[in-house]
Amino acid sequence: MNRVVRLVEVAEVEEVIEDNVAARNEQDAVTAEALNAEHLRMAEAILFAASQPLDKKALATSLPDGANLDAILIELQSIYEQRGVNLVCIAEKWQFRTAPDLAFLLRKEQPEQKRLSRAAIETLAIVAYHQPVTRAEIEDIRGVMLSKGTIDALMEVGWVKIRGRKRTPGRPVTYGTTEAFLVHFGLENVSHLPGTDELKAAGFLDAIPPSGFDVPNPTDQLAPDEDPYEGEEDAPATGSADPHDAGELG
């Protein structure tokens, strides 16, 4: 009797397994039907051949009408997740990059680049988290006067740009980070900057921050009191003082 019961149980288990396999195969068939294999190959080739990261608009113009771009990108990410190169989204653009754990294979000795000063690093952090921010606001946050060449050095590196003008007396220029900043630090956009928990884990914040402390929410969109920068001819040149300082301090 027990043997008969066991045989029945085994048969039931096998039936459940077969049903699950059939359901999985059916789901795979539906996915394969929704995702054109040729479109997948085309997107893969385009991304491999691109010398620069591509946004969805650029990819869509190179693919046939009706291509399911979102599904293609998700599928490619899944395919390359465990490979030597990964498909990643940086600054809202897509590109293949060497897997982080294999980066050591591609390292080579290079002359040491000029390091940013402590003041420049602090200024970069303030611009990143408080953008849009003026020179006077940077000085107010740091509590010290800003050296004339600090922002110029960050602009020369390509990580900081003039992004607008504030609607206040003197019309001071506002600063923000660039796409090169996002690419260098591997961020999809400025909202992906480390928050309180990440900063604590990295040791940059005390376990219990001061009362009232909060990490700002930066944005690359124009603020309500900010006008877009039109690239006026009197824009500050790299290595020179900002000609708008007087207006900002006034």
pLDDT at 72: 93
Count: domains in the chain: 2
Residue 124 maps to a domain: yes
126 with 141: CB under 8 angstroms?
yes
Residue 70 maps to a domain: yes
Instruction: Return d(Cα 162, Cα 39) in angstroms, integer.
Output: 40
Instruction: Return d(Cα 235, Cα 11) in angstroms, integer.
Output: 79
Q: Are 70 and 183 in a shared domain?
A: no
Token reading at 26: 């059916």
Which residue do the tokens 């206040």 mark? 168
pLDDT at 248: 38
pLDDT at 22: 55
Phi/psi of residue 191, nearest 5 degrees: -70, -10
Q: Are 230 and 193 in a shared domain?
A: yes
pLDDT at 5: 44
Instruction: Return d(Cα 222, Cα 219) in angstroms, integer.
Output: 8
Q: Are 26 and 142 in a shared domain?
A: no
Q: Which of 74, 105, 136 is the last residue of a domain?
A: 105
Longest dimension (CA), the chain: 97
pLDDT at 234: 47
Residue 111 maps to a domain: no
pLDDT at 54: 92
Q: Could you list the beta-strand ranges (E) of 73-172.
A: 85-90, 93-98, 160-166
Instruction: Return d(Cα 46, Cα 38) in angstroms, integer.
Output: 12
90: three-class secondary structure by DSSP: strand
Q: Are 152 and 244 in a shared domain?
A: yes
Q: What is the 3-state secondary structure (H, E, C) of 181-216?
A: HHHHHCCCCHHHCCCHHHHHHCCCCCCCCCCCCCCC
The parent domain of residue 130 ranges over: 118-249
pLDDT at 174: 93
pLDDT in tens, the chain (250 residues): 555 445 445 455 456 556 555 555 555 444 444 678 899 999 999 999 988 999 999 999 989 988 899 999 999 999 999 999 999 998 889 999 999 888 888 877 665 566 888 899 999 999 999 889 999 999 998 888 988 789 999 999 899 999 999 988 989 999 999 999 998 888 888 888 887 777 767 676 666 666 666 677 787 788 888 888 876 544 444 333 344 443 333 3
CATH of the domain at 135: 1.10.10.10
pLDDT at 190: 86
